[in-house]
Structure 1
Amino acid sequence: MNSTLKKDILATLLGTLAFLIMLLVSIPVIPTASFLKYDPSGFLLLLSGALLGPACGVLSCFIKGFLYFITGAGNIFGVTSDFLANIIFIIPTVLVMKRGGGSTKAAAAGCALGTVLATLAMIPINLVVLRLELGMMPDAVMAMMIPAILPFNLLKGVLNSVIYFVAGRPLSRVMARYQQSGGNRHE
């Protein structure tokens, strides 16, 4: 099996695991905006991007969202918002990690940058999506921005980063060693 196919299979697996986590663990964290729910699946998406490259991270995001949508667990608006937030977080994070040689400092800088960029990008995205999904006027969305939407997106980025550092980075080292061995545990 060629390495591209192996990467795609692993990215699909990580996206599927992320879907299961999203399905099972979805926590409303902002009482005034119960539609904003945190799930810890983002660390698996970041793991996919960090281990396999940004394109595979995006593939994992797509798989997660696609499965969530086709099972009827989410609507197109929520799935699209989640997809955009995740890829805007993952791509710059992974690029900074790669540029910094995968060091802890580079990973921390990447996670910080990804969190800030995703938080800022979700301002216009929420203006559009909440209008289409909930019929909220832009002034109503803007009124929720500082007390709910911005803190939620910052919290999501920070929590996904912390979980990635605690669980994902050690796991990525193990997976990278496995890949370097050609995927053969008996070598």
Structure 2
Amino acid sequence: MNKVKNITTLAMLSAIAYVAMVVGRVPVVLFLKYDPKDVIITLGGLIWGPLTSCIVSVIVSVIEMLSVSETGILGCIMNIISTCSFACTAAIIYKKKHTLSGAVMGLVVGSLTMICVMLLWNYLITPLYMGYPREAVVQLLLPAFLPFNALKAGLNAGFTFLLYKPVITSLRKSGYIVTTSNKTKGRPSGLILLAIAIIVTCVLLILSMNEII
């Protein structure tokens, strides 16, 4: 029964994350687009563990490659690395320190990890699947790739922090997960406001980068 439930959970998360990716794509800078699938995948990791994030990331990235992506296998690999560096890092830290501070630390470290990892992989892989000279990619690292990944990390962390509590509460009430003592209960309003401020700031920056405001 547990095996069936695990498969159902992975399928459910994969489906939701894929839909979020398809309908939520927003251009940020150059060919780089933000989509909220990492938020769904990270929530899955925080609730069911880092392996869940890893598996769902692979499933969604492969389906994305076969359906809507134009970057092929290299783009798929980049998607997996980007998502796992954020979601799995956050989930691993939260699993070891299952408290509010552990959740915040996981999201912060996950954000920094993703930014650093993607700068390296953009340098290594982007010239191969985008056909850009490596010298051109180097010139884009700070003005394009760094702000894109910083905005992506900020949105992912902000949305994940705001959604975790209501999502896990709903799952417990529905009986989908076993009710346990919740050490993240009673999030300080200051952290909630900070998460909202980060999201609003990132959205405004994206709008300004696209010359909408």
Q: Structure 1 length normalisation: TM-score?
A: 0.87
TM-superposition CA deviations, 1:56-104 (whole Å, max 9, x none): 1111111211211222444323222111100011111111111221x22
What's the C-alpha RMSD, in Å, of the aligned pairs? 1.7
Question: After superposition, where does 1:1-150 map in structure 2 within 5 Å?
Answer: 1-2=1-2, 4-30=3-29, 33=30, 35-76=31-72, 77-101=74-98, 103-150=99-146
**Mapped contact 1:51–1:176 kept (Cα < 8 A):** no
Structure 2 counterpart of 1:23, one-letter code: V
**Could you tell me how far 1:6 is from its partner in structure 2?**
1.4
**Equivalent residue of 1:136, what SS?**
coil
Task: List gaps (5 residues or longer) in structure 2.
Answer: 180-213
**Equivalent residue of 2:53, what SS?**
helix
More displaced 10-residue stretch of structure 1: 68-77 or 15-24: 68-77
Q: Distance in 2 between matches of 1:67 and 1:165?
A: 27
**Equivalent residue of 1:29, what SS?**
strand
Q: Distance in 1 between matches of 2:139 and 2:165?
A: 37
**Could you tell me how far 1:12 is from its partner in structure 2?**
2.2
Q: 1:27 to 1:155 in 2, by over 3 A?
A: same
Q: Distance in 2 between matches of 1:146 and 1:176?
A: 43
Q: Structure 2 length normalisation: TM-score?
A: 0.77
**Mapped contact 1:18–1:45 kept (Cα < 8 A):** yes
Structure 1 counterpart of 2:96, one-letter code: R
Q: 1:81 to 1:176 in 2, by over 3 A?
A: farther
Task: List gaps (5 residues or longer) in structure 1.
Answer: 182-187
Structure 1 counterpart of 2:145, one-letter code: I
**Could you tell me how far 1:9 is from its partner in structure 2?**
1.9
**Could you tell me how far 1:174 is from its partner in structure 2?**
2.7
**Mapped contact 1:8–1:56 kept (Cα < 8 A):** no
Question: After superposition, where does 1:149-168 map in structure 2 within 5 Å?
Answer: 149-168=145-164
Higher relative contact order (CA 8 A, sep 6+): 1
Structure 2 counterpart of 1:25, one-letter code: G
**Could you tell me how far 1:176 is from its partner in structure 2?**
4.5
**Equivalent residue of 1:37, what SS?**
strand
Q: Distance in 1 between matches of 2:97 and 2:81?
A: 25
**Mapped contact 2:71–2:130 kept (Cα < 8 A):** no
Pick aligned residue for 1:172 from 159, 168, 190: 168
Structure 2 counterpart of 1:180, one-letter code: V
Structure 1 counterpart of 2:40, one-letter code: L
